[in-house]
A and B are shown apart, each in its own frame.
Chain A
C-alpha cells in the first residue's frame, strides 16, 4: 500500500466510521432525537414532499408517508430495529459458530464429520425459506427474527474457524501446550482463539451488513417486527404502493439501508486488508 493509497483509504474509513457512529447513536437514542413520533399520523400532511420540492416544507425534511408520518423520524427510529437485530443475531450466530468451529477443527474425527454434515444440511435450505417456515411456526416477533437469523447464519463462522483451527492444531506452540497437559478448553481459549479472532471480526463486520439486508427483507415481507414499531423494510413496503405518485416514502428508507450496509462492507474489507495483507484481491 503506497502512502497515497493509505491516505485515500484513511479518508474513506473516516467517513465510514462517521456514518456507522451516527447509525449506532440513532439506534440507541433515535426515539429521543427524532423531531416527530414516527407513528403519529397526520392525514392533512399525507405524502408531503421533501423540502426541496415545490410544496415541501422544512417541517418534514424528507417528506411524509402515506398516512402523514414523518419519514426522517421513521428512519431515525427505525435504525433501532436494524441495529438490535443485526448485533444480536451476529453475536449469537458468531458465538455458536465459533464454538462449533473450534471443537470440530480441534477434535477432528467423527465430531468434525457430524458438525460439517449438519452445516451442509443447514446450507441446503435457503435462508429466506427457512426464515419463512420458522416465523410461520413461531410468529413474527423481534426475538424470533433474531433467533431465526442466528440459527441460519452460524455456518460461515464454523467453517472458517474450523479450517484455521485445523491448521493451528499442528503448530508447535499448540503441541507444546498439549504435551504439558493444558486442558483442551484452555488450549482453545488461550492459544487458538486469539489467532482466529481477527478473521472472526472481519466476517462479523461483513455479516452485520448482510443481516441488516435480511431483516429489512423480512420486514418488507411483513414477517419481522409488526407495526407500529417503525422499521426500514416495513416503511419501504408501505411506500411501495404509492410509487406512481410519490417516490420519497420508498426511496429514503432504502437509501438508509444501502448506506449503512455499504459502510459495514467497507469497514469489513478495510479490517481484512490491515490484518491480512495477502487477501487484497
Chain B
C-alpha cells in the first residue's frame, strides 16, 4: 500500500514541476529570446509609456527577481492585459474557452466512436479486405494535414452539396465539419491502437479460456476485452484529447470558430503578445491537469498501478 501512495505523491509532484517548468520556459521566451518591452507593449506606445512599463516590469532588476514577479502573477491568475481588447487576459480566455471545449469534446466523441469501432472490426477479422481498407484509411488519416482535410470537407459538404455551413458557430450543424476535421487524425490513431491492443488481448489466456468455455463472441469482445483494454484506451484517448485542444488552433482558423485557437492566431497577427503568452500558459496547465486527472482515475481503477516489481 505504501508504494502505491508514494507513486501518487510522486505523480502530483511531477505535475507541479511541469507547471513550474512551463512558467520558466515561457518567461525565458518572452524575456530572453524576445524583447519584453517590445512584445508586451502595443506598437504605437509612446516612449514615456515604454519607460514606465520597463519600470513596472522591473527590467532594472535581476532576471531572477523578474521571474519571481512573473511566477507570482501567474499563480494569482494575473496574466496581464490584452491591448486589443483592454481586458485581463484570463477573462478573455474564460470567455472563449467553452467554444473550444465544445469543439474538442465533439471531435473526441467522433474519434472514439469511429476509431474504437473500426479498430474492433479490424481486430476481429484481421487481414481481410475490410482490415486492409481501414489500414489504408488510417494511414491516409495520419498523412493528411488537418487544414487540408478541413478545406476539402468544406468544399464537398458546404460548397458542392450545401448540406452544412462553411463557418461560424450556430447550432449543431455548424459543429459537424469542424469536429470531423479536428478529430480526423485522432480517429486514425485510436483506430490503429484499438486494433493492436485488441489483437494482443485476444491472445491472452483469460480470453482464450472464455472462448473455450463457449462464451458468445460479443460478450468476449465487449465485456471481457474492452474492460481489460480500458486503461490503455483511456491513456491514448486522453493524450489525443489534449492534442485536440491544441490542434483547435488550425481548425478554428479554417471554420472561423470563435474559440481560444482563433483568439490566439488573431492575437499573434495583431501583436497582442500578452494574450499569446497567457493562452500558452493556461493551455499547458490544463494539459498537465488533464493528464494528472487521468492518471489519478487510473490509479483508483487499477489496483496494480504503483506496485513495484
Whether A197 sits at the interface, judged by CB under 8 Å, is no
Contact of B17 with A240 in the complex, beta carbons under 8 Å: no
Given known A-B contacts A126-B245, A129-B284, A217-B146, A243 and B250 have beta carbons under 8 A apart = no
Whether B43 sits at the interface, judged by CB under 8 Å, is no
- Across the interface, name the chain A residue whose C-beta is closest to B126: A281
Query: Across the interface, which residues of B come within 8 angstroms of A132, CB to CB?
Result: 249, 264-265, 268, 276, 280
Contact of A134 with B155 in the complex, beta carbons under 8 Å: no
Contact of A221 with B250 in the complex, beta carbons under 8 Å: yes
Question: How far, in whole Å, are A261 and B159 apart by their CA atoms in the complex?
Answer: 27
Contact of B145 with A129 in the complex, beta carbons under 8 Å: no
Given known A-B contacts A132-B249, A243-B155, A258-B140, A124 and B284 have beta carbons under 8 A apart = yes
B4-35 interface mask toward A, CB cutoff 8 Å, 1 = contact, 0 = none?
00000000001001110110111001100110
**Cβ of A90 to closest chain B Cβ, rounded Å:** 16
Contact of A262 with B250 in the complex, beta carbons under 8 Å: no
- Across the interface, name the chain B residue whose C-beta is closest to A206: B142
Whether A35 sits at the interface, judged by CB under 8 Å, is no
Residues of A228-255 whose CB lies within 8 A of B: 233, 236-237, 240, 243-244, 247, 250-251, 254
Query: Across the interface, which residues of A come within 8 angstroms of B247, CB to CB?
Result: 128
Contact of B39 with A117 in the complex, beta carbons under 8 Å: no
Contact of A125 with B280 in the complex, beta carbons under 8 Å: yes
Contact of B148 with A258 in the complex, beta carbons under 8 Å: yes
Question: How far, in whole Å, are A133 and B249 apart by their CA atoms in the complex?
Answer: 13
Query: Across the interface, which residues of A come within 8 angstroms of B142, CB to CB?
Result: 265
Whether B152 sits at the interface, judged by CB under 8 Å, is yes
Whether B89 sits at the interface, judged by CB under 8 Å, is no
Contact of A258 with B145 in the complex, beta carbons under 8 Å: yes
Contact of B14 with A120 in the complex, beta carbons under 8 Å: yes
Whether A130 sits at the interface, judged by CB under 8 Å, is yes
Main secondary structure, interface of A, reads helix
Contact among B18, B30, B196 with A137 in the assembled complex (CB-CB below 8 Å): B30
A212-225 interface mask toward B, CB cutoff 8 Å, 1 = contact, 0 = none?
01001100111100
**Cβ of A74 to closest chain B Cβ, rounded Å:** 15
- Across the interface, name the chain B residue whose C-beta is closest to A264: B143
Query: Across the interface, which residues of B come within 8 angstroms of A222, CB to CB?
Result: 269
Query: Across the interface, which residues of B come within 8 angstroms of A134, CB to CB?
Result: 29, 33
Given known A-B contacts A137-B33, A220-B250, A243-B155, A121 and B25 have beta carbons under 8 A apart = yes
Query: Across the interface, which residues of A come within 8 angstroms of B155, CB to CB?
Result: 243, 247, 250-251
Whether B93 sits at the interface, judged by CB under 8 Å, is no
**Cβ of B33 to closest chain A Cβ, rounded Å:** 5
**Cβ of B101 to closest chain A Cβ, rounded Å:** 15
Whether B181 sits at the interface, judged by CB under 8 Å, is no
Contact among A124, A138, A223, A243 with B18 in the assembled complex (CB-CB below 8 Å): A124
Query: Across the interface, which residues of B come within 8 angstroms of A216, CB to CB?
Result: 145, 147
Residues of A171-202 whose CB lies within 8 A of B: none
- Across the interface, name the chain A residue whose C-beta is closest to B156: A247
Contact of A128 with B147 in the complex, beta carbons under 8 Å: no
Question: How far, in whole Å, are A125 and B152 apart by their CA atoms in the complex?
Answer: 29
Query: Across the interface, which residues of B come within 8 angstroms of A130, CB to CB?
Result: 25, 280
Given known A-B contacts A124-B287, A136-B273, A254-B145, A129 and B249 have beta carbons under 8 A apart = yes
Whether A270 sits at the interface, judged by CB under 8 Å, is no
Contact of A124 with B151 in the complex, beta carbons under 8 Å: no
B73-114 interface mask toward A, CB cutoff 8 Å, 1 = contact, 0 = none?
000000000000000000000000000000000000000000
**Cβ of A169 to closest chain B Cβ, rounded Å:** 19
Query: Across the interface, which residues of B come within 8 angstroms of A20, CB to CB?
Result: none
Given known A-B contacts A236-B147, A236-B148, A126 and B242 have beta carbons under 8 A apart = yes
Contact of B21 with A133 in the complex, beta carbons under 8 Å: no
Whether B144 sits at the interface, judged by CB under 8 Å, is yes
**Cβ of A135 to closest chain B Cβ, rounded Å:** 8
- Across the interface, name the chain A residue whose C-beta is closest to B285: A124
B254-277 interface mask toward A, CB cutoff 8 Å, 1 = contact, 0 = none?
100000000011001100010011
Given known A-B contacts A133-B29, A258-B144, A261-B143, A126 and B159 have beta carbons under 8 A apart = no
Given known A-B contacts A124-B22, A132-B276, A137-B39, A243 and B17 have beta carbons under 8 A apart = no
Query: Across the interface, which residues of A come within 8 angstroms of B145, CB to CB?
Result: 213, 216-217, 220, 233, 254, 257-258, 261
Interface centre among A118, A122, A124, A240 (most CB of B within 10 A): A124
- Across the interface, name the chain A residue whose C-beta is closest to B148: A254
List 15 other contacts, CB 8 Å, given A133-B277, A233-B147, A254-B148. Answer: A117-B14, A121-B24, A124-B291, A127-B246, A132-B249, A133-B29, A221-B249, A236-B147, A240-B151, A244-B159, A247-B155, A250-B148, A261-B143, A262-B139, A262-B140
